[in-house]
């Protein structure tokens, strides 16, 4: 048995893009033969997919599939808008969404294990698509929404909205379009996550204190800032996209419509580029994790 050295692992890592431990395993199985290890990895599809996995996939598309009173939104990422418009990419995204909805699954790791109509898993299909297209492709997230009535709206490939509501169908459609445009975080003020309000309050306090105003004035300034924030992010308080003279709450009341919940996905939101670790840093990180 040939001893697998650090320099051999580094060379395989540089040539394939695989993680250090994956390279060590491949070299061990190939008895230290780097070329054989690469051939084996290529046969399994790991090498190319792993090489591409280091690339940031912040583009892509939102796919929505609806079955009766249940719908799923899935974000699948790629690296360029060109690939996001590709038919193969769109077909893969559609298959993933259908399989996830049928399984009632929203966890990306578990979605990867689901079987598609052709018998392959989502992960197997993803790797095959990476090999074919040549870009990193990732199933990032999914969300399922149910309701008595569902309004679905897509703005191009990048934004998707599903609204669960009761009442007027035209208003439901209008609300889906509105949410796509104005990106509210909650239907009503009492539904806004406490951490978002706390963050806004902290920012407002810092700005108010810089003014040198008395404490009672600072408190009023902070309250005003938080109210202004809520007016911007609460659906009911926003000016309606179809009729700017009215707030959404007025439209809901006039049409007898109630919004139960909504989901809005936008491609790439929250994705940050991560710095790649050098080989030395990866070794150090692996050693630290082993302690």
Among 3.40.50.460, 2.160.10.10, 3.30.479.20, 1.10.10.60, name the CATH number for the domain at 56-146: 3.30.479.20
Residue 18 has pLDDT above 80, yes or no: no
Give the position of tokens 């934004």: 159
H-run or E-run covering 140: strand 138-146
* Encoded tokens for 16: 């394939």
**Structural domain boundaries in the chain:** 1-54, 56-146
Q: In this predicted model, what pLDDT tens digit does every residue of 87-138 receive, in sequence order?
A: 999 999 999 999 999 999 999 999 999 999 999 999 999 988 988 888 889 9
Burial of 124 (0-12, 13-18, 19+ CB in 10 A): middle
CA dihedral 231, 234, 240, 246 (to 10 degrees): -50
Q: In this predicted model, what pLDDT tens digit does every residue of 226-255 receive, in sequence order?
A: 999 999 999 999 999 999 899 999 999 999
> Which residues are within 8 A (CB) of 159 and not within 5 positions of it... i.e. 6 or more apart?
62, 180, 264, 265, 266, 267
Which pTM was predicted? 0.73
Assigned CATH topology for domain 1-54: Helicase, Ruva Protein; domain 3 (1.10.8)
Q: In this predicted model, what pLDDT tens digit does every residue of 277-287 receive, in sequence order?
A: 555 555 565 55
């Amino acid at each position: 048995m040939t001893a697998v050295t650090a320099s051999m692992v580094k060379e395989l890592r540089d040539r394939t893009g695989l993680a250090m431990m994956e390279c060590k395993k491949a070299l061990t199985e190939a008895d230290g033969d780097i070329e054989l290890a690469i051939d084996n990895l290529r046969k399994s599809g790991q090498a190319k997919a792993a090489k591409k996995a280091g690339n940031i996939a912040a583009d892509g598309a939102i796919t929505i599939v609806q079955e009766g009173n249940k719908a799923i939104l899935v974000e699948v990422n790629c690296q360029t808008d060109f690939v996001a418009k590709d038919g193969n990419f769109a077909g893969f995204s559609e298959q993933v969404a259908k399989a996830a909805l049928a399984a009632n699954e929203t966890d990306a790791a578990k979605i990867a294990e689901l079987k598609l109509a052709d018998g392959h898993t989502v992960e197997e299909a993803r790797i095959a698509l990476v090999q074919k297209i040549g870009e990193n492709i990732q199933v990032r997230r999914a969300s399922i929404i149910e309701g008595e009535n569902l309004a679905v709206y897509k703005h191009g490939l990048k934004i998707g909205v599903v609204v669960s509501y009761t009442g007027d169908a035209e208003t439901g459609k209008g609300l889906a379009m509105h949410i796509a445009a104005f990106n509210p975080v909650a239907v009503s003020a009492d539904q806004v996550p406490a951490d978002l309000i706390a963050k806004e309050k902290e920012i407002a306090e810092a700005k108010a204190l810089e003014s040198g105003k008395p404490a009672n004035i600072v408190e009023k300034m902070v309250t005003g800032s938080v109210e202004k924030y809520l007016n911007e992010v609460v659906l009911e308080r926003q000016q309606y996209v179809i009729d700017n003279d009215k707030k959404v709450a007025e439209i809901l009341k006039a049409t007898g419509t109630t919004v139960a919940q909504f989901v809005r996905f936008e491609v790439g939101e929250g994705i940050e580029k991560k710095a790649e670790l050098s080989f030395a840093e990866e070794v150090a990180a692996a050693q630290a994790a082993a302690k």
